Structures are given as structure tokens and as C-alpha cells.
Structure 1
Amino acid sequence: MAGKFSAGILLFRRNSGDIEVLIGHMGGPFWARKDSGAWSIPKGEYDPEQEDTRAAADREFTEELGLPVPPGAWLPLGEVRYGSGQRAKELTVWAIEADLDPADVVAGTFEMEWPPKSGRMAEFPEIDRVEWFDLASAHDKLGAGQRPYLDRLAQYVAQS
């Protein structure tokens, strides 16, 4: 497949019978004033020829949130492909039932030229905030390519 491979971890918890998921608002100037579709499962790219998918998910969670993956069973939610051509992505996600305090997150950073064509590099957080959302709210906040994982998680929880 042309394109990129990503792996991530979707933390979830049960709160008074509701399922909540932990997602992060994408950092940087392009996402600063956006909300709907501007949140993401903690994830990142990897090379499948050089790294195991689960190891990549673990590494990316730690890089993005600055915290180790909480203990818990890794529940495979499978793969989703979205985009096309060179922009196509294959995302593999696991769910882990665990709690995490968003205040403990120390987001990783990235550099980019900002303002555009200024020749100056600026550093931005990969994720500028992390919050728990019920599944309906998370569905609005996540990018469309990641939304199928919410349905898969709901199905898993309903069967357990």
C-alpha cells in the first residue's frame, strides 16, 4: 500500500455506566481555532519493516503524552484505512481500559516553519490538550478516519 502506517492506543474508562475515551487536541497553529474533527487518538507513524505495530503504538503514546501506557489488557480494535494515494494511511489501534489524569500529560513537540515562508522555525506541542469524552462527543471531535474505532469499542464493551 502506498502511504503511511500509524499505530495508537485509545484509553477508555467506565463512568456511571457511560464509556469515556481519552483523546488529544492536535497542536500547532493550523488546529488552534478548530474543535470538531481536530482531536485524535494518541498515535503516530512507524515503518512496519523496522518496528512491530504494537511497539509503535506504545512508543507513540509515550511520545505524545509524555507518560507510559497504563497497565491493562490490550484490546485489538483492528485497522482502518483512510485517504488515498500518497496521503493514504493505515491506522491500527488498541483500546486499554485505564484511567489517566489529563493534568499529568507532558506533550511531545514538533518543529515547523512559522509563520509560513518566514525562514523561522517554531516549536509546538503535538497535542495541546487531552480530555475524556463520552462516545457521542468524541465522535464529533475525532477526525472522520478515526471514528470507526469508537463504534468498535462500543461493540466490544456491549459484549463484555
Structure 2
Amino acid sequence: MAHKNSAGVLLFRRTSGHDVEVLLGHMGGPFWARKDLGAWSIPKGEYEPESEDARTAAGREFAEELGLPVPHGEWIPLGEVSYGSGKGKKSVTFWAVEGDLDPADIVPGTFELEWPPHSGTITEFPEIDRAAWFDLATARDKLIVGQRPCPDRLAQHLAL
């Protein structure tokens, strides 16, 4: 299997106290159900570089995962992160966009998985089972390891 390319959008907002919060999604499905730290993700997904550019893919994947479009705002490049190894190696290009949305309005996309394993039963699960706003320090702990540089890059860009 070839190297996978993904793209995503880290939505952020400023609170009344001028703190910065980011929107993360808790990964859906049975593998993540009882996990919290390291089980959250920035809305993102795969794309084929030959047929779609990374920014277009990032917007499409945000909408697919959350059921809502990326709010209007400046797209701030956060660069690329790579994680995983072997067949699971991924490169993810991220942008940050300032905006707000209510996690209660999210209608997540779904995926199918044979569950329980080897049962022959295909079950549909949400791509994310909930979304929430977190301050940057908390977001670093909640994010899967490979995405943890993103809050720091956002903080650098905002000169926090």
C-alpha cells in the first residue's frame, strides 16, 4: 500500500478572556469508545494528490466528518505532519481557520466495520462520536500523537 495523503482543518476561536480554543472530534467506533487522552483528532481525511489539491480536500473532509462546512475565514497554513509507519504511514497537511460552531449541530459522517470481529456482521459507526472545544494545552493531550504539533504551530502563528 502506498503512502497516504490527508488534509484537515483545525477550527479555532477566541474566548471572551482572549484564550484560544480548538475544535476536536473524538474518534468513533469500538476501538476508541473507552479512550480519551490520545483519542481525539482534527477533522481530516485522505485525498489523491493527482485529482484534488490538499486545501480542497481539507474543506471536503471537514464537511464530511462534521456535517457542516468550514466557517468563512482566513486559511492559515500549519504545514505537514507525518505519522505512522510502514503501510500506515500518513502525511497530513493542516490549516487553521478562525470560526465558531456549536458541537451540538454536528452530524458526523459514518463508516462501516465488521463488528464484533469475525462475526460477519457489518456495523455502521460515526467517524466522530462527539466534538468539543479545548484550550491548546488540553488539546495537545487529547490529540492522537501524530497531530500534537498542530496546536503549537497555531500558537506560534498567533504569537501566544
What TM bracket, shorter-length normalisation? over 0.9
Cα distance in 1 for partners of 2:84, 2:31 equals 19
Deviations along 1:7-61, whole A, 9 cap, x unmatched? 0000001111211000000000000000010000000011111111011001000
TM (norm. structure 1) is 0.96
Structure 1 stretches of 5 or more lacking a match?
A: none
1:111 is the counterpart of 2:112? yes
Question: What's the secondary structure of 1:61's corresponding residue?
Answer: helix
Q: Offset of 1:87 from its aligned partner? A: 1.2
The CA deviation string for residues 83-121 of structure 1, in whole angstroms up to 9 with x for no partner, is 222111000000001011101000000001010000010
Which runs of 4 or more aligned residues in structure 1 lie more than 2 Å from their structure 2 counterparts after TM superposition?
A: none
Q: Find the counterpart in structure 2 of residue 140 from structure 1.
A: 141
The answer for unaligned runs of 5 or more in structure 2 is none
For residue 11 of structure 2, what is the aligned residue in structure 1? 11
Q: Which residue of 2 aligns with 1:72?
A: 73
1:32 is matched with 33
Q: TM-score, normalised by structure 2?
A: 0.96
User: Partner residue of 2:42?
Assistant: 41
Q: Does the alignment pair 1:122 with 2:116?
A: no
- SS where residue 21 of structure 1 aligns? strand
SS state of the match for residue 93, structure 1?
A: strand
Whole-angstrom CA distance in 1 between matches of 2:82 and 2:113: 27
Distance in 2 of aligned mates of 1:95 and 1:112? 31
**3-state SS, counterpart of residue 10 of structure 1:** strand
Work out the CA distance in 1 between the residues paired with 2:50 and 2:96: 24
Q: Which residue of 2 aligns with 1:92?
A: 93
In structure 2, C-alpha distance between the alignment counterparts of 1:143 and 1:7, rounded to whole Å: 15
* Separation of aligned partners in 1, 2:89 and 2:110: 24
